[in-house]
Structure 1
């Protein structure tokens, strides 16, 4: 592991209120879910400095929704769009982070409703040289009609229609018992993670050789680890509520899994096709 980040004597970043933060939200053709996510942003106890929507080719109705919500926020709301040419999440996240002006990136999916303390919780442990991953609770399929009719964005451990509800237990004091680790984080998911923009660029961001669903987040985590980043699980804080949807096609999963295996075998840090080509635009 890199000696640059191996030491535990990291300097704390600026106080929560002064960290320039970009919330990156990935989306694809589900404006109803994205609207609930944006409503949950409006209810955050600490707002990000900006929002960047990473849109992997949605239709015009998503653009119309985003334009409507720009007037509801006191912070910039950017829409980064690319043509629909299959599942290219790695590429659109890279484009969104390249657009972002924040020093710190918090990443969620456009079907994940955020707890009101979500941004605050991530910023609580934001550090250079460490990436964070929070908890995901699933909203069951049986509750879909109700949440969209009621535009529900507030949930808690005892809310109806939740799967793995124990993860919804929000108690920040308990999070202090989970420390930074030098090991690889098997639970890392792009729907709830954060990192410094500098660390993301240092490994060239997401590997755009990943097309089709699966393993792009894990492979990024492998390269974070190879670079020398520590990881921290955010337990009992940084909760998101994932809106149920049918699974995406997994026809590329074996190929994508092999790229993750190769990153482990070769101790890869830098991916050839990543964010660098967008940084000069």
Structure 2
């Protein structure tokens, strides 16, 4: 796929305005820009709104803020609402606590293909490196930087791109922080499952339904590089319930969730 004009970038966020600021700075430095950036905001306070308002005027593409009230972790619902605002036919999805390599969007467009969704990876940043970047509102980080671990995920080698790609019909290890799919495929499976509230596995469950519709997972390494800012782990009390929902989706080959995108539009 070679048309950025057909691509919407979604950034999921919740109450970490400093990280979102740095993430948006890394988006603004993309060599290939999406047609729009949509912030899927799961009920952040005014600090996040202030960052978005401050950046909107000078941002190189439309920057759209989709917000709902903070009633606990409702990432599935806010992503469904945000995708309802997308005008692109292709969706690249990240979290608001990652910094994107300047070729991130270009790499995703190069990997895109019909009948597939993309699962990328991420390098991680130490607490000290994270604090330094946030304090200085910087995005300058690379494979060679101090404070990077899972460092192999920071390798970008376009000439070896094909060696870094493989396909499998398994939903495991899919994370919404580095994910891309066709919007019509997303609508076919009725989007994210709103029954998954609280932390955990909403992206994996979506991926399971993609696979049940014969949409293959394409794993991308050596490109689409991103760096994850350090933070404490979120509470995981919902995880066992979510795992049961995934198991049901896998075992019964669910193709569409009953409570998803269409229930919010």
- Superposition TM-score, scaled by structure 1 size: 0.91
Structure 1 residue 114 corresponds to structure 2 residue 95 = no
Partners of 2:207 and 2:258 lie apart in 1 by 16
Q: 2:3 aligns with which of 6, 16, 20?
A: 16
For residue 49 of structure 1, the aligned residue among 31, 35, 53 is 35
Question: How far has the Cα of 1:59 moved from its partner?
Answer: 0.3
Partner of 2:177: 191
Once the two structures are superposed, residues 14-66 of structure 1 have per-residue CA deviations (whole angstroms, 9 ceiling, x without a partner) of x234x411100000000000000000001000000000000000001111110
Structure 1 stretches of 4+ moved >3 Å: none
- The two structures have a TM-score, normalised by structure 2, of 0.96
Q: Of 213, 224, 228, which aligns to 1:238?
A: 224
| Residue in structure 2 matched with residue 30 of structure 1 by the alignment | 16
Q: Is the 8 A contact 2:171 2:205 kept in 1?
A: no
CA contact (8 A) 1:115 1:154 kept: no
Shift of residue 121 of structure 1?
Answer: 0.4
Alignment of 1:98-177 (within 5 A): 98-177=84-163
Residue 61 of structure 1 is matched in structure 2 by 47
Paired residue total: 265
- Find the aligned partners of 2:77 and 2:40 in 1 and give their Cα distance: 9
Q: Tell me what 2:202 maps to.
A: 216
1:54 and 1:27 map into 2 onto residues whose CA distance is 6
Q: Which runs of 5+ in 2 are unaligned?
A: none
Partner of 1:9: none
Aligned equivalents of 2:141 and 2:130: distance in 1? 14
TM-align CA RMSD: 1.3
The runs of 5 or more residues in structure 1 that have no matched partner are 1-12
